[in-house]
Amino acid sequence: MKVLQVYTRVYVNDMETSLKFYENLLSEVSTFRFKYEAAGLELASVGNILILAGSNQSLEPFRKTKATFKVDSIHEFYDYLKSSGCQIIRDLTKVPTGTNFTVQHPDGEIFEYVQHHD
């Protein structure tokens, strides 16, 4: 059970402008970019930044999520967090990159956990 990467989330309405800004700021290119049609969003990553782009309405359900933990075993983390008294906000779900869930930690902060497809 290992956290592979932690992404800081940035919520925007204009993917192109934000993606270009973070690529220039970090001197890196995006490692992935995709549309999440079911949520009305487009996502991209640059370094440890995860950009979520969409309308204000599409972004609203996700804005309280502080960061994304990319993990090696989604089910192990799910079981561990649930047994640790964390509240599951959004249950295990298939997403374009793999499987995720959203949880509220004991301190009240909300985080996404995701395991990407191999």
| Predicted local distance difference test score (pLDDT) of residue 18 | 97
Q: Is the pLDDT of residue 67 over 90?
A: yes
pTM, entire model? 0.90
Query: 53: alpha, beta or left, given left = phi > 0 and alpha = psi -120 to 50?
Result: beta
pLDDT (mean) for 38-45:
94
In tens, the pLDDT along 72-111 reads: 999 999 999 999 999 999 999 999 889 999 999 999 999 9
21 φ, ψ (degrees, to nearest 5): -60, -50
